[in-house]
Amino acid sequence: MLLSKYFLPVLKELPAEAQVISHRLMLRSGMIRRQASGIYSWLPLGLQVLQNIINIVNHNMNKVGSLEILMPCIQPASLWIASGRFENYGKEMLKFQDRHDNTLLFGPTNEDMITEIFKNNIKSYKDLPKNLYHIQWKFRDEIRPRFGVMRAREFLMKDAYSFDIDQASAVQHYNNMYLAYLQTFRDIGLNVIPVLADNGPIGGNLSHEFHIQTENGESTIFYDKKFLNLINSKSLDIEKIQSLYAVAEEKHDPTKCSLAPEELASSKSIEVGHIFYIGSKYSKVMNAVVNDKHGNLVPIEMSSYGIGISRLVAAIIEASHDDKGIIRPINIAPFCVSILNLNILDSKCNELSRNLYAQLKTNNITVLYDDTEERVGSKFATHDLIGSPYQVIIGPKGAIKNIVELKNRKTGNIEELDIEVVCGKIISCLN
């Protein structure tokens, strides 16, 4: 992408509306713009991060056999009345009447609707287990939306739902998804800590949240210090992981925790995923039953699995930035490389920049070529701000000798290289 043709409205000033660093950086780097309280537009740079996360989530959901569907934003109230949740959900549910005075709502979650879809279309144990997911915009009318897309009202969530014939199969399904979640966050480039959590209004009696540790987190988690090594080890072993103490704040009881003080860690964190073993809460009340192998009608066993896709975009920035801006994990970076042409009036700078740009594109490496007439200091600031993992800096003094600088955004390390080896070097860094 040529920056001169792109839409990257970076802000030089600190936006007054933002309290936390991720919100400030997302506004400053032109990723999002606010349209109303807790409601945002995604500009090209922000949308590309969102899509990169979606691709990783899709890949891992498909790998575990989950099938993608898409339920609508708007749901009929009748469905929630049938499941008994309509009155209980509270003011976070955005309800309204259509022109014929039917009561509708903007879906805050989809257990009720997926249960209806299941019950109308699947009748036999032979079609189980089944796992369906969708990625759709949801709305929760938070009383005080804040922190940008971290706690927005309109937000993008991946929610999956599994259906099993009995508890044993349901728990195994739940554990497979637990592992798929760990792999998903690992692929994104995040260290997450899965902790035991409350099921809350979703229902059921087993639940885990997945947290990123950050200074500005709204949550607090408690965990066995051995956890970090285990989560970072190459092969994930669910029994070992789940045998260690790791809980959300509301589950932490110091009188019952058997760890010595020096074995116990606690940390501020951001919740980015939440999985629930629900059991038959919805299937019983909505009569979602299948024939088992003896011909008896049994209520299905359900679980649900959420990932806050739009929230993740902010959470990743909270976990990965410095005072100059964003530091993107490679797998979700909109551009792996920024080329900074420091003088677009210099024919040698242009030649080297254009050739490298073409070469990187030929190798399917995402690249933003800064071909604007901005001054040098402004170019440095912009590309540090937007956080491409690698920068290639091409100035007249080096260019005449075919020498350019390759900068690693994370370490700040700068290498002088012959232009001939730059593309190959970047390829080896990215793999």
Provide the binding-site residues for its own copies, judged by CB under 8 A: 5-7, 9, 30, 33, 35-37, 39-44, 47, 50, 65, 67-76, 79, 91, 94-100, 102, 104, 106, 113, 116-117, 120-122, 130, 132, 137, 139, 141, 143, 153-154
Taking the complex as a whole, the smallest distance from the CB of residue 166 to its own copies amounts, in Å, to 19
Quick one: 16 or 143, whose CB is closer to its own copies? 143
Q: Is 85 helix (H, G, I), strand (E, B) or coil?
A: coil
Quick one: 177 or 404, whose CB is closer to its own copies? 177
- Please give the helix or strand (H or E) that residue 282 lies within, else none: helix 281-285
Taking the complex as a whole, the smallest distance from the CB of residue 69 to its own copies amounts, in Å, to 5
Taking the complex as a whole, the smallest distance from the CB of residue 132 to its own copies amounts, in Å, to 6
The first and second tokens of residue 356, run together, are 């490298």
Quick one: 136 or 183, whose CB is closer to its own copies? 136
Q: Is 240 helix (H, G, I), strand (E, B) or coil?
A: helix
Taking the complex as a whole, the smallest distance from the CB of residue 218 to its own copies amounts, in Å, to 20
Taking the complex as a whole, the smallest distance from the CB of residue 137 to its own copies amounts, in Å, to 6
Taking the complex as a whole, the smallest distance from the CB of residue 13 to its own copies amounts, in Å, to 14
Token pair 């999956």 is found at: 160
The DSSP bridge pattern shows strands 192-196 and 154-164 to be: unpaired
Task: Return the beta strands (E) in 280-386 as ranges.
Answer: 289-291, 297-299, 301-308, 321-322, 325-326, 337-341, 367-370
Quick one: 11 or 400, whose CB is closer to its own copies? 11
Quick one: 114 or 316, whose CB is closer to its own copies? 114
Taking the complex as a whole, the smallest distance from the CB of residue 295 to its own copies amounts, in Å, to 17
Quick one: 154 or 384, whose CB is closer to its own copies? 154
- Please give the helix or strand (H or E) that residue 230 lies within, else none: helix 227-232
Q: Looking at this protein, which amino acid is placed at residue 355?
A: N
Report how far residue 51's alpha carbon sits from residue 46's, in angstroms, rounded to the nearest whole number: 9
CB 216 within 8 A of CB 20: yes
CB 142 within 8 A of CB 153: yes
Task: Encode 78-99: b = buried (16+ Cβ within 10 Å), e = exposed.
Answer: ebbebbebbeeeeeebbeeeee
Taking the complex as a whole, the smallest distance from the CB of residue 50 to its own copies amounts, in Å, to 7
- Please give the helix or strand (H or E) that residue 103 lies within, else none: strand 103-106
Quick one: 47 or 330, whose CB is closer to its own copies? 47
Quick one: 113 or 399, whose CB is closer to its own copies? 113
If you write DSSP's letter for every residue of 179-191 in order, what string do you get? HHHHHHHHHHT--
Taking the complex as a whole, the smallest distance from the CB of residue 405 to its own copies amounts, in Å, to 28
Quick one: 124 or 191, whose CB is closer to its own copies? 124
- CA 24 to chain CA mean position, Å: 18
Task: Return the beta strands (E) in 107-197 as ranges.
Answer: 130-139, 154-164, 192-196
Quick one: 90 or 424, whose CB is closer to its own copies? 90
Task: Encode 257-274: b = buried (16+ Cβ within 10 Å), e = exposed.
Answer: eebeeeebbebebbbbbb
The first and second tokens of residue 238, run together, are 């669910």
Taking the complex as a whole, the smallest distance from the CB of residue 139 to its own copies amounts, in Å, to 7
